[in-house]
Amino acid sequence: MEAEVTQVESNQLKQKPTDESQLGFGDIFTDHMFLANYEDGKGWINPRIVPYGDLSIDPAAMSIHYGQEIFEGLKAYRGKDGGIYLFRPKDNFRRFNISARRMCMAELDVDQAVNWMKQLILLEKAWIPKSEGTSLYIRPTMIATEPHLGVRPSRTYSFFIIIGPVGAYYKEGLDPVKIYVEDFYVRASVGGTGEVKTAGNYAASLLAAEKAKEKGFTQVLWLDAKHLKYIEEVGTMNIFFVIGDEVITAPLSGSILSGITRDSVIQIVRDWGIKVSERSLTIDEVINAAQDGTLKEAFGTGTAAVISPVGQITYKGKDHVVAGRQMGELSQRLYDEIVGIQYGQRPDKRGWVKRID
Ligand code: COI
């Protein structure tokens, strides 16, 4: 089922950004967006691409009151050869369906959703930036739309995709970020919704993130909700530590997001013959390693953040410098490899990349 297209009048098209070094993240959107509706008994109906603009939503819509919302984040890359590449797009929509099941929302047909997304990207291909480190960010989103105030799953949903050109997620770019280990607030607990991409997880993280920002930190490092002891994730990215000759990241225990970049890093590092462990890791182990010099590197992984080196970890009022506040060797090697694959410049032996134009 192709989406029906209503194009913006040519004299109404937006001005595209001229300076790609100033793109930042998440402020610019293209001329069109994709929309489809779901009704119990009918399934997904009325797929359409329309001019980008406001949604009309009933003030009693259940997403507003009870938070039935899920989203994804992926990117389209413009290769040096002019091609347009997507990285593991089906994995994003598989995860979208996992989120949908957890939040009692309607699932999508993965191939259908990828096709709708491709149709939108191809219509907007002139918006895909060309400079290194830039891409077209894609935000598939679903919201509950039924106007009803009783607490139960909605019977109607809207699925939409908005897209826009982006640069680096953090203002630091590839410079190492400073992270604050949060030892009071928690992001998510096992059995909750921490492993799915739903708005509430991000809302729950805001207060601690704002407090950390006031103190000059880029991000919060979350500990587990039960013991405030085990490393979880950074909220906008998964986190890896290189201690001695082991690369360690938290296991998918139910409260952290199953990142696609996280999984790609694990596979690549393993193929390089480096020991990589998905295991419980305490903050004390990380701090001890920072103190005895065995903590060689730390880096975050995410679609938006790509590979983001960590230059400082602050825990209980003490700062610990990581890798001399430089991008570590493995972080750089991974960044080059992943970005090389994503932009179609390095061999993609795992079939992760889809060229769509
Ligand atoms: C992404 O990496 O795409 C994310 O969804 C993180 C985000 C909330 C900016």
Kindly write down the DSSP assignment for every residue of 293-347, as one continuous string.
T-EEEEEEEETTTEEEEEEEEEETTEEEE-GGGS--HHHHHHHHHHHHHHTT-S-
- For residue 12, the 8-state DSSP code is G
Lowest-pLDDT choice from 109-113, 149-153, 169-173 = 169-173
Instruction: Answer with the one of 96, 131, 166 that is the final residue of a domain.
Output: 166
Q: What is the mean pLDDT of residues 188-206?
A: 97
Distance 237 CA to ligand 1 centre (A): 7
Structurally, the chain folds into a number of domains equal to 2
Identify the pLDDT of residue 172: 83
Ligand 1 atom closest to Cα of 26?
A: 9
111/196 same-domain check: no
Q: What is the pLDDT of residues 244-280, one digit of tens each?
A: 999 999 999 999 999 999 999 999 999 999 999 999 9
Structure tokens at 163: 């897209």
Model confidence band, residue 235 (pLDDT cutoffs 50, 70, 90): confident
98/230 same-domain check: no
Which DSSP helix (H) or strand (E) runs through 179?
A: strand 177-181
Beta bridge mates, 38:
44, 157
Q: What is the mean pLDDT of residues 62-73?
A: 98
Which DSSP helix (H) or strand (E) runs through 203?
A: helix 199-214
Q: What is the CATH number of the domain that holds 37?
A: 3.30.470.10
Residue 353 lies in a domain: no
Model confidence band, residue 132 (pLDDT cutoffs 50, 70, 90): confident
Residue 357 lies in a domain: no
Minimum CA distance residue for ligand 1 atom 5: 73
Instruction: Answer with the one of 141, 166, 191 that is the final residue of a domain.
Output: 166
Minimum CA distance residue for ligand 1 atom 7: 236
Identify the pLDDT of residue 174: 87
Amino acid at 120: L
140/206 same-domain check: no
Q: What is the mean pLDDT of residues 150-168?
A: 97
Q: What is the pLDDT of residues 299-345, one digit of tens each?
A: 999 999 899 999 999 999 999 999 999 999 999 999 999 999 999 99
34/8 same-domain check: yes
182/324 same-domain check: yes
**Number of CB atoms found within 10 A of residue 24's CB:** 14
222/300 same-domain check: yes
- Domain residue limits at 217: 177-342
Beta bridge mates, 14:
none
Identify the pLDDT of residue 274: 98
Identify the pLDDT of residue 75: 98
270/231 same-domain check: yes
Which DSSP helix (H) or strand (E) runs through 286?
A: helix 283-292
Report the pocket of ligand 1 as residue ranges, CB < 6 Å. Answer: 73, 236, 302-304
Instruction: Answer with the one of 114, 144, 166 that is the final residue of a domain.
Output: 166
Q: 């462990």: which residue's tokens? A: 277
Angle subtended at Cα 225 by Cα 221 and Cα 231, rounded to the nearest 5 degrees: 40
Q: Which pTM value belongs to this model? A: 0.97
131/211 same-domain check: no
50/193 same-domain check: no
Res 185 pLDDT > 90 = yes
209-241 burial: b if 16+ Cβ within 10 Å, else e: beebeeeebbbbbbbbbeeeebbbbbbbbbbbb
154/181 same-domain check: no
Identify the pLDDT of residue 348: 97
Identify the pLDDT of residue 142: 98
SS (H, E, C) 142-155: EEECCECCCCCCCC
Q: Which residues contact 318 (CB under 8 A, 6 or more apart)?
A: 287
Distance 209 CA to ligand 1 centre (A): 15
Angle subtended at Cα 341 by Cα 33 and Cα 238, rounded to the nearest 5 degrees: 75
Q: What is the mean pLDDT of residues 92-102?
A: 98
155/203 same-domain check: no
Q: What is the CATH number of the domain that holds 280?
A: 3.20.10.10
